[in-house]
Amino acid sequence: MSVPFGLQPTVKIVQAGDPVLRSSTPEWDDSLERTELEALVELMRSTMHAAPGVGLAAPQIGLSLRLAVLEDLWPIDQETAAAKEREPLEFMAAIDPRYEAVGARTATHFEGCLSVRGYTASVERPADILASWTDLEGVRHERELHGWQARIFQHETDHLNGMLYLDKAEPRSLCTDENFARLWSYEEPETVREGLGF
C-alpha cells in the first residue's frame, strides 16, 4: 500500500541568505550508501512536490551535495505551455548535473525559486542545452533539453554552483508573486518589459 502524498515526509527548504546556497558543492564522491541515497532522493522528491515545485537541489535542504531532483507533470493550459515551450518532464534524480548551451537561441521567462519565497523575476537563458547527469544506478546520461525542461535543468544545476536565479535575472523585473499574478502573468513579454522598464 502506498503512502498518501500528503503524509510523506518533508524537510524545511533553506531560504536565501543561508551560506549553503552560496557555496559550490564538492565533486560527487559516492560516500552515500545506496539505501541512504534512495531515501534522500525520495525525501527531496516529496519536499519538492509539497512545496510545490518542479525542481529541488540538495543545498536547498541544507546539504552540500551535487544532487538535484526534477519533475514537471503539473497541469498547465495549452496557451501557456506553448509560450514557454513546456513539455512534461518525467521524474529525474540527477547526480553531478552539468549543461552547455546548444546554439545561440535564448528565451526569457519569469522564474521563481523555492529558496526565494514570494518573488519572481525575468531570466534570459539558453533555450537549448546538452544536459548530462549520473542516475542512481551510476550510469552517465547525455540528452538535449529544450524550452522549459532546459530552464528547469539549468536552474537546479546553478544551485549546485552557489547561484540563485536572481544572479541572472533582470533586476527591474523583480515582482512579488502577487503582483506578477495580478499584473503580468498573461501579458506578452514586450508589454512586461515596457511596463517595468527593462
pLDDT at 63: 97
Cα–Cα nearest to 166, from 121, 110, 126: 121
Q: Which residue out of 85, 100, 111, 156 is catalytically annotated?
A: 156
**Number of structural domains found in the chain:** 1
pLDDT tens-place string over residues 113-131 = 999 999 999 999 999 999 9
pLDDT tens-place string over residues 57-101 = 999 999 999 999 999 998 888 888 888 899 999 999 999 999 999
Burial class, 123, CB count within 10 angstroms (exposed 0-12 / middle 13-18 / buried 19+): buried
CATH of the domain at 132: 3.90.45.10
Helix, strand, coil shares of the chain as percentages rounded to 5?
A: 35, 30, 35
pLDDT at 178 over 50: yes
CA distances 126 to 84, 99, 130, 170, 175, Å, are 13, 10, 10, 15, 22
CA distances 161 to 12, 100, 130, 131, Å, are 21, 14, 17, 15
CA distances 45 to 90, 116, 123, Å, are 12, 19, 25
Question: pTM for this structure?
Answer: 0.92
155 is in an annotated binding site: yes
159 is in an annotated binding site: yes
Task: Give the domain extent around 137.
Answer: 5-196
pLDDT at 149 over 90: yes
Active site residue 87: no
Give me the mean pLDDT over the 158-169 stretch.
98
